[in-house]
Structure 1
Amino acid sequence: MNKYTVMATGLLLSLGLVTGCSSSDAEKPTAAQSKGGSSATPGASAAPKGPVYSGPAIPGLAAKPAWSLPTADAIDLGDTLLFVKDAQGAYAKGGGSNDDPVDGTVGTLHAAGEPEPATLEFRDVKTGEVRKTLKVTTTRVAATTWHNGVPAVAVYTAATTESDGLSAEKTTTTVTVYGADGKELGKAQREGDKFHLREGYVIEQDGELSLKLTPVEGGAARKVTCTGRWGSCSYDPRTGEIDGGQAHAPLIIGTHAFHIENVSGYDNKREQLVMTDLATGKKAWSTADVTPPTGVELDDDGMRTTGAVRVLDVRDGRVLTSWGAGALTPDTWVTATYDLATGKQIGGSTTYAYADDPADTVSTEGTSVFSPDRTLAAAETEKGTAVWQPADGKEVWAQKDDEKALTPLRFSPNGVLYGIRVEELGEDVFLAVDGRTKKVLAKSLPEENVPLFTKQSGYGYISTHKGFFLFPAV
């Protein structure tokens, strides 16, 4: 099974994580180093001279990489890529964590059963030069976000107090968050290890109906609650979503959080997604206050026949939603954009019967893959891929019955869509097509040559068995 396929496993909480940076962990600083074993000089090393790329041309990327390293994976921090070296100087390879993002990016980059020394390398995306290093002792280094979605890295440190024969063994976990410049943003400590981190908040389950959000840098905690006869609240770190039943939305997005009302199953109310200000709890928007788009089935009382509803994105004063079409059509969803201030729908709507694997614990129904600038979205429908425009709901193109179905993976900044086609014998074939025209640009790419893209620069990178390669976009 390829690394882009979501495994059909239940949510498993991360193992006891460990890390931290202290003066005791660092090597003795030199004149070119700051306290704590970190390099204080930007461009502390020249651009790396790694392996030569000899793979196939990758549509959307330059023919030659800007720089390369030995085999490695990285965490995208915007204009910086974060690498981890172990005590022997080998670069870490990510993957394998049950909490890793479903979009194929690295979640956990470094993991170990016991605390061990490691070096964090913050490299300039465009040149590969080392901007800063930090020496830490850790069992896990993972990608996270700071407030307003700013990329960051989390370093975990766990300390266990053994039982004295009567008392229970006790574990305390400390997490330290660093920005793209290697500076500490905040630190938090919790008993045990059953918590998550996103947008600068520690996210903990608080009973069956609530989640507790506590700022990493300190401050009052905020509760997010799901209400209703069948009420339950959970958080999925792979998607960053809150899950209350048939309703899903980003738990934290910018300065707002979502909660769910009327988790009612077969009750006469429908589930609603409510966006509130994180600081005050004041309501900013709700699906209850807008008119569902055309294509959503209503009963004689004007109520939706299904409580299935999603928020896919919030940006630039607009909210992108996806609504279950009806109680008898669970795979069909209607996607529409609304103005947050007025509640009015912007443009038309898009209706698709989505493809979904019943064994998949991450529901793909009603969701899409978005281009970095959010001008295009690609949906996996029953017929294959369809591309549409989130701004106005207009379809750009869709596969037909007589075509081989493509599952979309991601867009490049310049509109190349990468995807998977499954052959009859179960073999995965990776393709690249023009997102606007459907023209096939590469009909058979090796899986390891399907690139990821940095969020800020748009550069593409791949990690193969021959090395890590960073390419400019074209």
Structure 2
Amino acid sequence: MNKYTVMAAGLVLSLGLVAGCDSSGGADTNGQDKAGSSEGAKGGAKPTGPVYDGPAVPGLAEKQAWSLPSSEAIDLGETFLFIKDANGDYSTGGLYENEPIDGTTGTLHAGDEPEPLTLEFRDVKTGAVRKSLKVTADRVAATTWHDGVPALEVRTSSTAESDGLSAEKTTVTVTVYGGDGAQLGKAEHAEGTFHVHEGHIVEQADDASLQLTPIDGGKPRKVTCTGQLASCSFDPRNKDIDGGSAHAPLITGTYAFHVENATTYEDEQEQLVMSDLTTGKKVWSTADVTPPKGVELNEDKERTSGAVRVLDVRDGRILTAWGAGAFSPDTWVTATYDLSSGEQIGGSTTYAYADNPSDTVNTEGSSVLSPDHRLAAAATETGTAVWQLADGKAVWAQQDGENLMTPLRFSPSGVLYGTAEGDGDGETVLAVDGRTKKVLTKSLPEENVPLFSQPSGYGYFSTEDGFFVFPSQA
């Protein structure tokens, strides 16, 4: 499977002036932002790239909006970020570690040494360049700013040589840009392993703690998982905190999660606790709500399985998945709770998920969500199952005897893409109606499965023939 495949089975108007670089390797934002804003208001030319001549893709309009030669891009919401090297060639990405499991581009450029690059911010709908920046960098990757706003991370390293007494020291400068090319924040950090997420530098403080340092200033905070020999880490592929049997988004909006009893060396169950990101005050916990129907309880009314996940936090609601029981490791029960009252909203949905030992991200119990968050789909033992998030009501599920389909993602119009076991060797890519299960195509090339940019809903994919962007199907 290529990078557009979700591992569970799963995303500018005129030519801006190009500004110089500062001594740290970041862009000279004083000149760039002013120039970019002025030029962007004038409008720009639509790129003249290749014409798509492949098979029709359900969920996409018949005619492409625009295209570029073969390349990859980081989706920033209103814009796509493309990179040109010193020769003027577009980056096509690479096989980098820790790429997002949703199929979007994570790292677009990574090198051993800083090198000159041109960042192009192109309008999602028209392809016109909104802004162009020159930077010197050894890493360019997708990230998020506060409240999940799509953003761009540019890292540049510099080394101070030893004077004979002091040790050689390498410093990394992290600059975060928004989708309009404006600088959002900048920070320096010692060389080492760290991640940038939700406007914070995320690093391991010790086995049980993560340190979150705001890039735009502010006091660092530790997120600590409790329990005997507790282990707690951050997985950059799905942006979850990993506490053993418990998983949740590390940061979501103004909240952060940690895990209580994050170990298998205690009798007490693991619990997910959501707290205020700034103060650390507890807001919600799985310990304070009633597990949904279908979760096995012992004689003390406690869960027999410690497995629990938070899948999504949105609009005052929390979507959860609970292990069904101690002897049902692949069976999960999903349910939604009101954040303020702790009451369950709607019913629950129980499925035995497909067991995939090679899936190191541990996505069992997870779901592929539609862009409007009305539908969820998951890979179960009998194939794909689809249900409504609002009330947990099943929409449809595959039956015994059908070719097992693993869902990848939804289009804004409700098309569900997935891979299925073919009649011969290998897999085939399907597109089905997410509501009715009707097969729309059974032989879509895997590289043509689109990703969708929000909020426009425009779909895009990259093949050896080019980078193609389409309006979503009405």
TM normalised by structure 1 equals 0.93
SS in 2 for 1:330: strand
In structure 2, the partner of 1:378 is 377
Q: In 2, Cα distance between the equivalents of 1:186 and 1:26?
A: 11
The residue that corresponds to 1:118 in the other structure is: 117
Deviation at 1:63, TM superposition (A): 1.1
Following the alignment from structure 1 to structure 2, what is the Cα–Cα distance between the partners of residues 34 and 79?
19
Paired position in structure 1 for 2:80:
81
User: Is the aligned partner of 1:41 residue 2:39?
Assistant: yes
Once residues 155 and 88 of structure 1 are traced to their aligned partners in structure 2, the CA distance between those partners, rounded to angstroms, is 20
Alignment-derived partner of residue 132 in structure 2: 133
Three-state SS of the structure 2 residue aligned to 1:288 is helix
Alignment partner, residue 258 of structure 1: 257
User: Quick one: distance in 1 between partners of 2:33 and 2:200?
Assistant: 27
Residue equivalent to 1:391: 390
Question: What displacement does 1:179 show?
Answer: 0.5
Could you tell me whether the CA contact under 8 Å between 2:83 and 2:117 is conserved in 1? yes
Looking at structure 2, the residues matched to 6 and 377 of structure 1 have their Cα atoms a distance apart, in angstroms, of 14
AA matched with 1:3:
K
Q: Which residue of 2 aligns with 1:410?
A: 409
Query: What is the identity, as a one-letter code, of the residue corresponding to 2:314?
Result: R
Question: What is the identity, as a one-letter code, of the residue corresponding to 1:258?
Answer: F
Query: Amino acid of the residue matched to residue 465 of structure 1?
Result: E
Deviation larger for 251-260 or 185-194: 185-194
Deviation at 1:264, TM superposition (A): 3.6
Q: Give distance in 2, aligned partners of 1:144 and 1:68.
A: 24
Write the distance in 1 (CA, Å) between the matches of 2:91 and 2:454: 21
Q: 1:273 maps to what in 2?
A: 272
Cα deviations by residue, 1:227-258 (Å, 9 ceiling, x for unpaired) = 01141110000000000110000000000000
Identity of aligned residues (%): 67
TM-score (normalised: structure 2): 0.93
CA distance in 1, matches of 2:425, 2:170: 44
Q: How far apart are 1:417 and its partner, in Å? A: 0.5
Whether the 8 Å contact between 2:245 and 2:308 is mirrored in structure 1 is yes
Question: Is the contact between residue 172 and residue 190 of structure 2 (CA under 8 Å) also seen in structure 1?
Answer: yes
Counterpart position of 1:3: 3
Contact 2:20 2:28 in 1 (8 A): no
User: Aligned AA for 2:388?
Assistant: Q
1:438 and 2:437 equivalent? Answer: yes
Q: Match of 1:72?
A: 71
Partner SS for 2:442: strand
Alpha-carbon contact 1:415-1:436 (below 8 Å) kept: yes
Kindly indicate whether the alpha-carbon contact (under 8 Å) linking 1:122 and 1:130 is maintained by their aligned counterparts in 2. Answer: yes
Distance in 2, matches of 1:123 and 1:433, equals 31
CA distance in 1, matches of 2:340, 2:366: 24
Instruction: Check 1:27–1:175 CA distance in 2 against 1; reply closer, same or farther (3 A cut).
Output: closer
Task: Trace 1:46-195 onto structure 2 (pairs within 5 A).
Answer: 46-163=45-162, 168-195=167-194
Letter in structure 1 aligned against 2:228: R
Counterpart of 1:339?
A: 338
Cα deviation, residue 331, structure 1: 0.3
Cα distance change on mapping 1:82 and 1:334 into 2, 3 Å: same
Shift of residue 422, structure 1, vs aligned partner: 3.2
In 2, distance between residues paired with 1:275 and 1:28?
Answer: 39
Show the counterpart of 1:17: none
Mapped to 2, the partners of 1:60 and 1:35 lie a distance apart of 36
The alpha-carbon deviation at position 5 of structure 1 amounts to 5.2
The answer for the alignment partner of 2:297 in structure 1 is 298
Residues 256 and 277 in structure 2, CA contact (< 8 A), matched pair in contact too? yes
* 1:360 Cα deviation from its structure 2 partner: 1.7
Task: Give the SS at the match of 1:2.
Answer: coil
Match of 1:312 in 2: 311
Equivalent residues of 2:143, 2:153 under 8 A apart: yes
Partner residue in 1 for 2:203: 204
**CA–CA distance in structure 2, aligned partners of residues 340 and 7 of structure 1:** 30
CA deviation after TM superposition for structure 1 residue 111, in Å: 1.9
CA distance in 2, matches of 1:155, 1:310: 32
In the alignment, which residue of structure 2 is the partner of 1:450? Answer: 449
Query: Which residue in 2 is equivalent to 1:223?
Result: 222
Q: Note if contact 2:231-2:263 (Cα within 8 Å) is conserved in structure 1.
A: no
Q: Taking structure 1 as reference, are residues 28 and 212 closer, same or farther at Cα in structure 2, changes over 3 Å only?
A: closer
- Identify which range, 180-189 or 264-273, moves more after superposition: 264-273
Q: Secondary structure at 1:448's aligned position in 2?
A: helix
Inter-CA distance 281–131: structure 2 relative to 1 (3 Å threshold): same
Contact 1:293 1:334 in 2 (8 A): yes
Number of aligned residues? 460
Say which SS state the counterpart of residue 206 (structure 2) adopts: coil
Counterpart in the other structure of 1:13: none
Render the CA deviation track for 1:171-211: whole Å, top value 9, x for unaligned: 21111000011100000111013110111011010011100
